[in-house]
Amino acid sequence: MPPQASGYVKSRLRSLHGALSTGRGAPRQAETKPQPTAQPSVASYEQLPTDGRKRVVVVGLSMVGWKFIDKLVNLDRDSKKYEIVTFSEEPHVAYNRVGLTQLFEHENAEELHMAPPTWYEEAGVRVLLGHKAVRIDRDKRQVLSDNGAVVAYDELVLSTGSEPFVPPIPGADREGVSTYRDIKDVHSIIAQSKTCKSGAVIGGGLLGLESAKALYDLGVSDITIVEGAPRLMVRQLDEQGAKLLQKKVSELNIKTIVGGMTDEFYGDETGALAGMKLKDGTDIPAQMIIVCTGVKPRDELARECGLEVGERGGIVVDDRLQTADPHIYAIGEVACHRGMCYGLVAPGNVMADNLAANLTGGSELFIK
């Protein structure tokens, strides 16, 4: 495990330990609706800048995407060599996904922002909110969005991250089966919990445990964690540590099943989600189910435009984070470097720093 990954996991473990050492969280504050974010007009940037600058387009305003933009803005402050345009598929500027559990308490997305919306305007960064990039035209060097934007680029940075992996379990498309990855997911879980008495979480890793604790704090009375491995947090804890963790979880009256493989999610006579069955016949009643079984790189844009992807997914890059196309780079969870995709923020931040340095005259190499 890389040092950065180790530090990140330890930090999450400390937070989880604190949460499991307490009872139900304080009642959620009254909902505070985020203030609308100022958005530039949806102009079409088909032409490159005519003022001598080059345009860097960042697809994916993730934590790592923002880190790259922030670094490039600072390094380019004096020379003003670059214009930056970024696509944000969500209707939010970059936010801290690691802190998503905070939204279960206050539901105010603004408190998670990596930087306030005004920062982008002051930095001269053009943000296309609610624009999902759907195609890259490598011949014309353009990115097209689902909302009609056409943006030309000199250099393109793909920071599309990952998406939840949902196993092909019968019934996985039922209403009430959720993932836990973004702000929209959190709002959906909160809404479901208001009329839900029983819930289940598939996956006993960090995210699964955090999801179970969130359901507990939301007042769901009957909660079960199902983990396919022989113990909780199998990648981070040895057998003794996992037993201590399972004891801590049970003190909150959260049930755990290890070595359990899900067979199906089933509904009641009305079609509403009613529970799940395991392959050994175990029946678990659940009016809502959160699937936390890992992630997969969002590399579909690269695949469709002919860029190389790894055997297990991810956009193949060299030590300079460059793809086979000299004008396209990939950083963060979507980058496949020497056959490895890093599903953590810390290595992605190193990639972001290195790439920003290289675009401003540096010669940094990302070598693990």
What are the residue boundaries of the structural domains of the chain, listed by start? Answer: 54-163+296-359, 166-291
Is the pLDDT reported for residue 107 higher than 70? yes
Distance, in Å, from the CA atom of 156 to the CA atom of 142, rounded to the nearest integer, reads: 9
For 120, list phi and psi in degrees, rounded to 5.
-65, -40
Average pLDDT over residues 213-228: 96
4 pLDDT exceeds 60? no
pLDDT at 45: 87
Rg (CA), the chain: 22
Beta carbons within 8 Å of 217's beta carbon, 6+ residues apart: 24, 25, 104, 105
Report the pLDDT averaged over residues 288-310.
97
Residue 248 has pLDDT above 70, yes or no: yes
Binning pLDDT at 50, 70 and 90, where does residue 98 land? confident
If you average pLDDT over every residue of the chain, what do you get?
90
Q: At 307, is the pLDDT very low, low, confident or very high (cuts 50, 70, 90)? A: very high
Least trusted range by pLDDT, from 13-22, 28-37, 116-125, 202-211: 28-37
The amino acid sitting at 44 is: S
- Contact (CB, 8 A) for 359 and 82: yes
Architecture of domain 166-291: 3-Layer(bba) Sandwich (3.50)
- The mean pLDDT value for 7-16 works out to 54
pLDDT at 105: 83
Tens of pLDDT, residues 185-196: 999 999 999 999
Q: Does this chain's domain 54-163+296-359 share its CATH topology with 166-291?
A: yes
Q: What are φ and ψ of residue 99, in 5° steps?
A: -95, 20
Please give the C-alpha separations between residue 108 and each of 16, 32, 104, 214, in angstroms, as whole numbers: 21, 6, 9, 16
Q: Which has more confidence, 26 or 301?
A: 301
Q: Which of 11-25, 164-178, 189-203 has the lowest mean pLDDT?
A: 11-25
What is the rounded CA–CA span in Å between residue 173 and residue 10?
34
In the chain, what percentage of residues exceed pLDDT 90? Answer: 83
Would you place residue 32 in the very low, low, confident or very high pLDDT band (cuts 50, 70, 90)? Answer: very low
Phi, psi of 17 (to 5 degrees): -60, -40
Confidence of residue 9 (pLDDT cuts 50, 70, 90): low
Q: Which of 202, 159, 156 is nearest to 48 (CA)?
A: 156
Closest CA to 213 of 179, 253, 172, 164: 253
Confidence of residue 23 (pLDDT cuts 50, 70, 90): low
pLDDT on residue 31: 45
CB neighbours of residue 66 within 10 Å: 27
How many residues would you count in the chain?
Answer: 368
More confident residue, 11 or 90: 90
The CB-based long-range contact list for 241-247 (8 Å cut-off, 24+ gap) reads 245/20, 245/209
**8 Å CB contact between 89 and 163:** no
Helices within 281-365 (DSSP H only):
300-304, 345-359
pLDDT at 33: 44
How do residues 128-140 score in pLDDT, each as one tens digit?
999 999 999 999 9
CATH of 54-163+296-359, one of 3.50.50.60, 3.60.15.10, 3.40.50.2300, 3.30.390.30: 3.50.50.60
pLDDT of residue 16: 60
